[in-house]
């Protein structure tokens, strides 16, 4: 079936890997972003030339092993953006996973195949990752539930890095119950538990979104009685010269420096034929200096004080998950770059601070999915997952 073929990489599994019987995921299926090791296969990162110089993994990554141990059957390796350095979901070498909820439009990236597989009903669980929106954006554009976890809450053993100080695991499901169950399996370390009692409405984030989309998200928040009644409108980047765009620039430069450090040896040794957009971003990353990185990390500390001062335990921030509906797949490179800039202004808050963020699919605009984003405090992943259960009845009911 064409949709199924579009989701998986050419170097896919020869056959599904069955999980342990009797676990909480027994009878369910999972697809794995092509950045997590699966024993006996090469991990390709969406890049044929990276794939060519790898050796098969000797064991499963920790996340894959935990899913299998809980009973899930792993049915394939999902397409992702090349070296994870994009948010469109278009891979120049392997194609674009079809967005089943918005035909002719992009699925979002970089965890494109994992999200599209869940949206199409090919798999129950899609394992992904999120550095700068790579779970949140595909979840929103494909109309599925998705969680970007707090940085460090999921064991990253056997998982490829991109920009380590921002990298976080994440996953997609069709409903909140399974999203929460997966959390009970993958989340490790110290949870910071607190009842959700306060909701912040991020006005500067709403201002970044197209008016019809922002209106739908705002109306949905107003109707959700399960969200805290103690509500306050805030400007996330208040006091920052340039607002959320200044935060985006700090994130961009640090991410670029870290990503170049991660892939420098490979790129200089192999000179890979990277796809459009990805190639240009690595050229920019190569040029970021240590002095620039030092300056931006100092700015990051100021940003972190602001974010952690706002998002204290018990506080959740509401904002649109994405700034617009899924762009047309035929958009120009200039249009995609403009889209990417807008996306980064919305995803930067959780990304730069290592916070968990939930996507709640709430309805459609022009027939395309729209997502409500809910940011929690560092270590508050379980609280967001519990909140997702309470909000499940709203999924897709407001239009």
Residue 25 lies in a domain: yes
Segment 222-225 long-range contacts (CB within 8 Å, at least 24 positions apart): 223/394, 223/398, 224/391, 224/394
Residue that the structure tokens 């794995």 belong to? 32
Tens digits of pLDDT across the chain (399 residues): 457 889 999 999 999 999 999 999 999 999 999 999 999 999 999 999 999 999 999 999 999 999 999 999 999 999 999 999 999 999 999 999 999 999 999 999 999 999 999 999 999 999 999 999 999 999 999 999 999 999 999 999 999 999 999 999 999 999 999 999 999 999 998 899 999 999 999 999 999 999 999 999 999 999 999 999 999 999 999 999 999 999 999 999 999 999 999 999 999 999 999 999 999 999 999 999 999 999 999 999 999 999 999 999 999 999 999 999 999 999 999 999 999 999 999 999 999 999 999 999 999 999 999 999 999 999 999 999 999 999 987 664 433
For the chain, give me the number of helices (H) and strands (E)?
A: 13, 10
23 within some domain: yes
Q: Is 180 contained in some domain?
A: yes
Minimal CA–CA distance to 141: which of 96, 112, 110, 107? 107
* Confidence (pLDDT) at 190: 86
Cβ atoms < 10 Å from Cβ of 198 = 18
Residue 181 counted as domain residue: yes
146 close to 170: Cβ distance less than 8 angstroms? yes
Q: Is residue 39 part of a domain?
A: yes
Total domain count, the chain = 1
Q: Would residue 359 count as lying in a domain?
A: no
Task: Look at residue 327 and tell me if it is in a domain.
Answer: no
pLDDT value of position 189:
87
- Residue 128's nearest CA partner among 95, 91, 154 is 154
Which domain range does residue 45 map to?
2-186
| pLDDT given at position 134 | 98
Domain with residue 93: its CATH number is 3.90.1300.10
| Neighbouring-strand partners of residue 147 | 171, 358
**Please, where are the H alpha helices in 41-143?**
48-52, 62-69, 112-119, 136-142
Q: What is the largest CA-CA distance in the chain?
A: 56
Q: Is residue 129 part of a domain?
A: yes
* Contact status, residue 55 vs residue 37, Cβ threshold 8 Å: no
Q: Hey, which residues does 369 pair with through a beta bridge?
A: 364
Distance from chain centroid for Cα 254: 18
| Segments in 224-332 forming alpha helices (H) | 243-270, 278-287, 290-310
Residue with tokens 């991660």: 262
């Amino acid at each position: 079936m064409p949709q199924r073929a579009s989701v998986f990489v050419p170097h896919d599994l020869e056959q599904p890997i069955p999980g342990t019987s009797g676990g909480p995921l027994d009878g369910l299926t999972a697809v794995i972003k092509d950045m997590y090791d699966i024993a006996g296969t090469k991990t390709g990162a969406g890049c044929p030339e990276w794939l060519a110089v790898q050796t098969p993994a000797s064991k499963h990554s920790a996340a894959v092993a935990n899913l299998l141990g809980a009973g899930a059957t792993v049915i394939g390796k999902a397409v992702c953006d090349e070296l994870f350095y994009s948010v469109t979901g278009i891979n120049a070498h392997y194609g674009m996973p079809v967005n089943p909820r918005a035909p002719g439009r992009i699925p979002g990236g970089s965890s494109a195949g994992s999200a599209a597989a869940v949206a199409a009903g090919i798999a129950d669980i899609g394992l992904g990752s999120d550095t700068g929106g790579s779970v949140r954006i595909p979840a929103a554009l494909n109309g599925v539930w998705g969680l970007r976890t707090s940085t460090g809450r999921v064991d990253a053993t056997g998982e490829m890095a991109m920009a380590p100080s921002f990298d976080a695991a994440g996953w997609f499901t069709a409903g909140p119950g399974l999203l929460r169950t997966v959390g009970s399996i993958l989340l490790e370390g110290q949870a910071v538990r607190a009842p959700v009692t306060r909701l912040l409405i991020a006005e500067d984030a709403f201002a970044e979104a197209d008016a019809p989309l922002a209106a739908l998200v705002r109306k949905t928040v107003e109707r959700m009685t399960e969200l805290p009644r103690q509500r306050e409108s805030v400007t996330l980047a208040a006091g920052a010269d340039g607002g959320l765009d200044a935060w985006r620039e700090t994130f961009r430069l640090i991410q670029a420096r870290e990503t170049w450090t991660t892939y420098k040896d490979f790129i200089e040794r192999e000179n890979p034929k990277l796809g459009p957009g990805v190639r240009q971003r690595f050229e920019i990353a190569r040029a970021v200096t240590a002095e620039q990185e030092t300056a931006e990390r100092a700015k990051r500390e100021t940003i972190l004080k602001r974010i952690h001062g706002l998002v204290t335990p018990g506080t959740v921030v509401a904002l649109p998950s994405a700034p617009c509906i899924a762009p047309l797949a035929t958009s120009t490179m200039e249009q995609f770059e403009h889209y990417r800039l807008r996306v980064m202004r919305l995803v930067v808050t959780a990304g730069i601070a290592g916070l968990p963020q939930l996507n709640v699919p709430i309805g459609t605009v022009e027939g395309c999915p729209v997502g409500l984003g809910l940011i929690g405090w560092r270590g508050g992943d379980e609280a967001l997952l519990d909140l997702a259960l309470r909000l499940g009845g709203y999924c897709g009911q407001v239009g």
